[in-house]
Amino acid sequence: MSARAWALSIEDREKLIQAAFEAKEGSYSRYSNFPVGAALLAVDGTIIKGANIENASYGGTICAERTALVKAVSEGTRKFIALAVTSNVKSAISPCGMCRQFIREFCANDMPILLVPADYPQEGKVKPGSSAGGVVETTLGELLPMSFGPEDLDLPRKLQ
């Protein structure tokens, strides 16, 4: 939301957004009928795509953002520049809390997260809180303030 100097070039931004739309094609969302696509830009310039993969047990469901992250991390890519997320909804949809926590493990608080509406690029006047094309630009720190993270498990503790 706050103004921010993006490390992301216009070309990279656009490529990442398009990758999120492509990623959505891989969704397995037969229970929610709510396909989501996510795309991660790694520091080495590669883009890793993910989609939501649901499960009959509901609780087993893995979202698009976590799919993209486990793909990347399990192949040794652990530093990221930006994340884009899109769905079939005409407003920008935000990662669930579980995904925010999962992103937290690997990404900096100021990493840009682009929430992309299904009808991107939206025409006309840019709405408050959005940037060009109707994208809501936020960061992990904005989405998960005062977060619990890896370093908290190392804090000194009272004897039980």
Report the site for its own copies in 6-35 (rule: CB under 8 A).
23, 25-28, 30-35
Taking a C-beta distance cutoff of 8 angstroms, is the pair 100, 70 a contact? no
Q: Which residues pair with 139 in a beta bridge?
A: 112
Report the site for Zn ion in 70-99 (rule: CB under 5 A).
96, 98-99
Estimate to the nearest angstrom the gap between the alpha carbon of 61 and the chain centroid.
Answer: 16
Estimate to the nearest angstrom the gap between the alpha carbon of 120 and the chain centroid.
Answer: 16
- Which residues are part of the catalytic machinery? 65
- Binding status of residue 49 toward its own copies by CB under 8 A: yes
Residue among 10 and 56 whose Cβ is closer to its own copies: 56
Report the distance separating Cα 96 and Cα 111, nearest Å.
Answer: 17
- Please choose, out of 7-15, 39-47, 71-79, the segment that lies near its own copies by the rule CB under 8 A: 71-79
105 is in an annotated binding site: no
- Binding status of residue 137 toward its own copies by CB under 8 A: no
- Binding status of residue 63 toward Zn ion by CB under 5 A: yes
Q: Which does 134 bind (CB under 5 to 8 A by kind): Zn ion, its own copies, none?
A: none
84 is in an annotated binding site: no
Give the three-class secondary structure for 66. helix
52 is in an annotated binding site: yes
Residue among 11 and 143 whose Cβ is closer to its own copies: 143
Q: Directed axis angle between helix 64-74 and helix 97-104, to 10°? A: 20
Count CB atoms within 10 A of the CB of residue 100.
17
Q: What is the dihedral of CA 139, 27, 99, 69, to 10 degrees?
A: -80
Which residues line the annotated binding site for Zn(2+)?
Answer: 63, 96, 99
Binding residues: 52-58, 63, 96, 99
Question: Binding residues for Zn ion, per CB under 5 A?
Answer: 63, 96, 98-99
